[in-house]
Structure 1
């Protein structure tokens, strides 16, 4: 029944997008206002089918990356999106699974594309210190690359801004708004709202049930929200209970979905404790929410316009 519901949501509620991203910066995006691609939907677990948390957002000519989890550069290469086409990187928080791919993205990306300008990075307090230290840690490599590989030093720089809640990026009609979420004890942690051409996408980042997220997500077309699935009998004394306590259960996510009423809700950063499957997430969601939703997969993309359409990797 869960699989039947999942299929019905895809077939009846949405049109299937017909084109992959073929260029670094596609100004039309096939008539779509915003295109969102889940590069990695995983967690700290080193899984081959779910890479580390990272999301690509394309709006007009603007190419934005949110978080840089494990394997994000490889996922971008699969999409033929090069490092020198990125306009900015936004970090939700500084947990390692959201930033561990940054060094590869930055250094390898700079080397193979010979980017000419620094990459703007936006993140919570501590982000600037982190990238300053990373550039010191890799100073030897950066010097050799400039001298031996003849790449532009400016392209190997990260220019980071520690942000607070509010508008953090506004250029070419694209607005990015950061809002605080509840990922205690990780403070601060942010979600992001991206607006362009009268449409909006919201990325929750890592969070428990958050009333502030609901406030900022109202009116969004697409809501990408994290989720944790665990046994209902999990006790406070269980060594993994703290993981459950830091994230959002399907039942709690449904409360968010009902309050926000997005055109489409998408589960991302899928935390599975003790082997619980995505099918169980679907089952619990359909019991508590009647709107359209989907469990995200790596390289699944969403075209946001008057409607929201879904395409899995490899679909024509």
Structure 2
């Protein structure tokens, strides 16, 4: 039986424990126990969360854990020296160590994310990258697996993390059964976006916004800089300079993001063949769309579509 420990500390967010239900239901659905789940803290006893909820916990000790999961908090947590040392020691003996939401800051402070890829809640991803430059922060991922280290985005992404762990441990069939019992339509893949990439653009002027609106309505066309500049009523040179200054992206990158977003929605919400999706969203062919998906999501279109299928099919 695999032993899983959820690590809490004063101010932890209770929703971080929601993913423990994945392992609880897995035991029931399997017909025999697979997991033993414990709640851990430095000294054990009652630990007050960020809401009006306190939980009982066991103190750190020498007990072996296959998996340790650090919960997040509403504030960015800073681990005590004892917690950081515990995590560093357990990296040598545990199969995997994970974090939910801002728990990534705990792993980073302990040095477990050095040289690794990781994610956290999108609101705090830039802060994580700034404070820990040796970490490659994938700020638009539901969860990231880098060797023995698993990190997830905020809130319900911890459930996706748990389901992915279950699938790896016991297979896709049991993971689907657990998701059904949890009334989850489908398990989101780790590479899926936390939110629309266009939220990052936020153009400041009506002219750049007009160009983006034009692009989103004409994705099937070539969309050259000259066409976008005309929509913005600027010269191509002025447009390119203003666009990058206002959005932080080149026009070509922004158009690719628009196309990828539109293509992802078509794949998830329609039965159109991939060739049709590529054509309708302005990719010259399916191979070009595949490369764009790998850049954006770390997964090809077929995987995105498969992960969008209802689990009870």
TM-score computed with the length of structure 1 as normaliser: 0.31
Structure number having the greater helix percentage: 2
Whichever of the two has the greater Rg, that structure is: 2
Greater strand share, structure number: 1
Q: TM-score, normalised by structure 2?
A: 0.31
